[in-house]
Amino acid sequence: MIYFDNSATTYVNEEVMQTIIEVTKSINANPSSIHELGNRAASLMHQSRMQIASLLNVTPEEIYFTSGGTEGDNWAVKGTAIEKKAYGNHIITTTIEHPAVNESIRQLEQFGFDVTYLPVDKNGVISIDDLKKAIRKDTILVSVMAVNNEVGSIQPINEVGEVLKEYPSIHFHVDAVQAIGKVPFLLGSNSRIDIAVFSSHKFHGPKGTGFIYLKKGRKIAPLLNGGGQENRMRSGTENVAGIAATGKALRLVLTDAISKQEKQKNIRDYLISELSGYKKVVIFSTEAGAPHILCFALKGIRGEVLLHAFESESIYISTTSACSSKNKRNSTTLSAMHVPDSIAVDAVRVSLSDTNTMQEAKQFLSIFKILYKKFQSIHA
């Protein structure tokens, strides 16, 4: 079996799994309970918060646990809108955000917010000039993802931050779900990022857990009201085992991150160079993109057909993004990159993790060679 669908989700690391089992078995109390067992749960959560903060070079008070990327993005966007409504009505985002951001912003449009969608070039990257032109007096939020989940394009987050240094009242939100462990991603006092969103299952942690970074001094309104957990910012009994597992998964993914990224990049570049030798293959990802994502199309063969053909050989890939694939929506990123729909429907995504090997890439390519011939003979 070859698993090449790591942008949809990753397997849970064995050590991380042990943490989930041990914590679930031995620390079953509610961290809000004031007895000894509750204290143990709260203290474990505190340790994880400190661990995550130190790995990201921020303070523990700036980390808030969530149920994952979708919640984090909804919170960043709507929490900013509610908090800053009195100061302005304008939001800037891109045409290639994940639906967790895009749909949240579309909902705000229904409530009267005005939105500028920054276009991308043919490589799926926004332009800083467009951003500069879009900023207005009433802009309250700029939301730009770090790494696109469909084609892997890396957005110029540091440059956006530089521009926003001149507009200190604007919240800068970055969806970092596909970036962490894959590309250099800096938070902390020199970074202009106010809110960054993370999801554990994208870095070998469990599903349904994640966290946001919210810069000290920045305010967003809570979306989940209730018992006042997470410093009254995000109510709901915490997933203690998931939180402990998240800390461990983050530590593991960031250990030797550079060499892991290089390994993935070598595999991805090899796949690009081999696939580009086929006349009917169109490649949408570039070598400048994140090392783990390769989006391409075999012209004339729908993405889901190619996906299932690989599946019958026990190779798992996806049609662009996992959420859109079941909804049968065309890729928003490819359409923003002006890829015609007739080609976008043929797109598939290969996404790697640090455990994939060159051997697997070679096996993938040898199956591709067979499938290519087969599809050509059918269409001849």
The residues assigned a catalytic role are: 323
Q: How many residues bind ligand PLP (CB under 6 A)?
A: 13
> Shortest gap between Cβ of 97 and ligand PLP (angstroms)?
8
Report the residue closest to ligand PLP, judged by CB. 69
List the x/- string, 206-245, binding to ligand PLP by CB under 6 A: ----x-----------------------------------
Asked if residue 100 binds ligand PLP (CB under 6 A), the reply is: yes
Among 98, 171, 234, 268, binds ligand PLP (CB under 6 A): 98
* Beta carbon nearer to ligand PLP, 69 or 181: 69
Would you say the C-alpha torsion 39, 43, 45, 46 has a positive or negative sign?
positive
Among 155, 178, 319, 353, binds ligand PLP (CB under 6 A): 178
Asked if residue 149 binds ligand PLP (CB under 6 A), the reply is: yes
> Shortest gap between Cβ of 175 and ligand PLP (angstroms)?
5
> Shortest gap between Cβ of 176 and ligand PLP (angstroms)?
8
Among 175, 194, 230, 346, binds ligand PLP (CB under 6 A): 175
Asked if residue 5 binds ligand PLP (CB under 6 A), the reply is: no
List the x/- string, 40-79, binding to ligand PLP by CB under 6 A: ----------------------------xxx--x------
* Beta carbon nearer to ligand PLP, 40 or 171: 171
Dihedral class, residue 60 (left if φ above 0, else alpha if ψ from -120 to 50, else beta): alpha
> Shortest gap between Cβ of 274 and ligand PLP (angstroms)?
26
Pairing state between β 171-175 and 195-199: parallel
Place of tokens 């390994």: 263
Q: What residue ranges bind ligand PLP (CB under 6 A)?
A: 68-70, 73, 98, 100, 145, 149, 175, 177-178, 199, 210
